[in-house]
Structure 1
Amino acid sequence: MGTIVERQKKDGKPSFTAQIRKKRKGKVILNLVETFTTRAAAKSWLNDMESNLNRKGGMERAVRAKARKSVSQCIEEYSAASPFSFGKSKSQMLSTLSRLEFGAQSIDDLTAADFIDLANNLLKGIQAPPTDPKLDTPSHYTLKPRKPQTVNGYMVTLGTLIRYGGPICRVTMPVSEFEEAMRTLKHHKMVTKSNTRSRRPSLEELDMLMEYFHSRHQANPRIVPMHKIIAAAIFETHRQGAILSQTWNDYDQANEQIMIRNMKHPMQTDGNDMLLDIRKEAQSIIDSMPRTDERIFPYNRDVISRHFTDACKLLEIDDLHFHDLRHEGISRLFEMGLTIPQVAQVSGHRSWQSLQRYTQIKQKGDKYANWKWWPIVATDH
């Protein structure tokens, strides 16, 4: 028979912890513990559990159930086993899935219906408990609906765990159940792939942004020189994170090259360092920056994103993302007649398939040849 231990909580009220321990050949094979607010509830739980264990095969079923792992446990083990750190998006999605109620479910028992329920909840905008307990307020759980493209990202990320995490977590993953659920979700368009963006800023839109940010910087030179960041994003053709992480030690002015550390890659970001060409236009922007920090552009990523988004709203520039500046820069190189290998050596893409989505050719030649902002972005003020 199990035991019940009474303890006093901090508020002075009693709690009753019920425990059942079963041994076989001197080794504990099952340890069940639950805490209740009343002794009667604890005793009732003990009686029910003992009754279940005494049934035919009850002990074996309980031992197997205890040995099962939750989704969150498997996420933790799968993440810890990877020799490379995951990207920001994948890490965030795995963390969210782990903290949802879905994360507490036994991964062995998941069915296609469970995966569909998860996708439905994500679409509705269910929020996981925050990682910081101080932010755990009722308002945090306000539904924030997600797009099918976003939910697809969560499901694809979960799919890597389901398909490849079994040997690591030492469990049999419900691969067929997951695949069945994904077929249903795609059929009903509850998950869809992201649309390929073809948005490029016009010279008029860039003039508005450059004028806005340059005038602000002239009024207060201590604020972020966003006009230079925008120009760097176009003419370096790198992601925001890559631009903001570049150091002077990684910049080889003489050989017109720059090392991009931990360049984003779907399979391996950590340690994916690439030595890439950097063209004269981008060099002129870099050379104009003061060497007051080990980083060339020593600014906060969130601040850059916020400034850009706020400016687009203020200037009524519709549907322009910071990442579209990279599209603009890569497309420009193709418009100037550079070959695929030449562009890839600047942008860092490893295949035409990945590079192709960034190319929207609209003209021939360099529309920035006489850009009026060159004298400003290439000077040290």
Structure 2
Amino acid sequence: MATIRARKRADGCVSYTAQIRLVRDGTQVYQESQTFARKEAAKAWVRNREAELDQPGAVERANRKSATVKEMIDRYLAEMEKVRPLGKTKLATLRAIGESYFGKLTDQSVTSQQLVEYALWRMGKLGGGVQPQTAGNDLAHLGAVLSIARPAWGYEVDPHAMSDARRVLKKLGYNMKSRERDRRPTLDELDRVLTHFQEMQARRKSKINMLKVIGFALFSTRRQEEITRIQWKDLDEVGQRVLVRDMKNPGQKIGNDVWCHLPPEAWAILQTMPKSRSEIFPYNAPSISASWTRACQFLEIVNLNFHDLRHDGVSRLFEMDWDIPRVASVSGHRDWNSMRRYTHLRGRGDAYLNWAWSDRILQAPVTMGASLTN
């Protein structure tokens, strides 16, 4: 026997809880319930689940102790922490999935239909109204958990559920792949941002010298997390290189240390930093990001991320007629396909030749307060 009940959540939206009860010889032998964002999905689940439970041995298998998606995610996070810390985006995404309605599903209930339903919910108003690419990232991170849940821990997870769900979403017309970003800062935008930070520094001494950080990010093509990890001992004075520790890489992050060449502009900025700390830029990466975001919001500069400085730096080197191996020696990219995503040319030559801010960045005074490293 199955029932479907509508329930109003704390945020005002309505969810639908489907419950199945099986009784044999007057005794209840099985009970299961699932919650859905749409009533149609709840009805479909009831039909499919009742058909599955009619199969020989299905009730016995269903009565075994199962695990929820949240429990699988928690176990995955605990296991991965022993090997290498996860990136903050993946970590936050998995935790959010675990706390959502999807986190309450059991391992056997994770079907392609449920995954499609979750993706549609995420793209809908109730799930946050995210872009298909963001929903696709959710599925990718969740897929990492599901891919080892069955072979490693023995959970009853359909090995084809994720691939089937992605196939369905593609047929429905959703492009779940991340779009290549082509945003680069203009010289006018950089002038406004740097002027903003220079005026702030003059009014109130800040521990984070954003002029130095922005200039170094642009000319070195380094990510903000990499910048804050660089130590003086990581410099090769003769080769004008820097050892970038734990460089981001899809297959490896922790222990992926790469030597990267520093163009003259980036090298000159390093030489102006005090050697009072082991780190060259003893700042907190999230604080750098927050300062950048606040400045862009205040200046009404739309859709410009700190990471776009790396994008601009790589494109600039190609505009200066550097070849692929030489640009890769700076950016740290291993193949052209990855580097191509950062390459959107505007013309030929060096747009930063005789740039007024070059000398201002070098001459900007640095005040070292309490350590702000990660």
> Structure 1: how far apart are the matches of 2:252 and 2:182?
27
Q: Which residue of 2 aligns with 1:255?
A: 239
1:374 aligned to 2:358?
yes
- Answer with 1 or 2: which has the greater Rg: 1
Q: Per-residue CA shift, 1:49-106, capped at 9, x if unaligned?
A: 992359xx99994575333222223223334444333222222222222222322221
- Secondary structure, counterpart of 2:356 in structure 1: coil
Q: Which residue of 1 aligns with 2:208?
A: 224
Q: Which residue of 2 aligns with 1:97?
A: 97
| Alpha carbons 1:84, 1:268 under 8 Å: kept | no
| Alpha carbons 1:71, 1:105 under 8 Å: kept | yes
- Secondary structure, counterpart of 2:243 in structure 1: strand
Q: Which residue of 1 aligns with 2:299?
A: 315
Percent identity for Structure 1 against Structure 2: 33
Q: Residue 357 of structure 1: CA displacement?
A: 0.7
> Structure 2: how far apart are the matches of 1:189 and 1:292?
56
| Alpha carbons 2:211, 2:364 under 8 Å: kept | no
**Structure 2 stretches lacking a partner, 5+ long:** 1-20, 31-54, 366-374
Q: 1:49 to 1:88 in 2, by over 3 A?
A: farther
Q: Which residue of 2 aligns with 1:51?
A: 27
> Structure 2: how far apart are the matches of 1:181 and 1:58?
27
- What is the 5 A alignment of 1:312-351? 312-351=296-335
Q: Which amino acid aligns with 2:318?
A: F
Greater alpha carbon shift after TM alignment, 108-117 vs 324-333: 108-117
The alignment's TM-score, normalised by the length of structure 2, stands at 0.77
| Alpha carbons 2:216, 2:269 under 8 Å: kept | yes
Greater alpha carbon shift after TM alignment, 258-267 vs 179-188: 179-188
Q: Which amino acid aligns with 1:163?
A: S
- What is the 5 A alignment of 1:227-238? 227-238=211-222
> Structure 2: how far apart are the matches of 1:159 and 1:355?
26
Q: Which amino acid aligns with 1:376?
A: R
Q: Residue 324 of structure 1: CA displacement?
A: 0.9
- Secondary structure, counterpart of 1:282 in structure 2: helix
| Alpha carbons 2:212, 2:364 under 8 Å: kept | no
| Alpha carbons 1:244, 1:297 under 8 Å: kept | yes
1:106 aligned to 2:106?
yes
Q: 1:93 to 1:67 in 2, by over 3 A?
A: same
Q: Which residue of 2 aligns with 1:243?
A: 227
Q: Which residue of 1 aligns with 2:76?
A: 78
Q: CA RMSD in A?
A: 2.8
Q: Which amino acid aligns with 1:100?
A: S
- What is the 5 A alignment of 1:16-35? none
> Structure 2: how far apart are the matches of 1:146 and 1:173?
26
Q: Which residue of 2 aligns with 1:275?
A: 259
Q: 1:343 to 1:51 in 2, by over 3 A?
A: same
| Alpha carbons 1:71, 1:106 under 8 Å: kept | yes
Q: 1:104 to 1:62 in 2, by over 3 A?
A: farther
Q: 1:208 to 1:49 in 2, by over 3 A?
A: farther
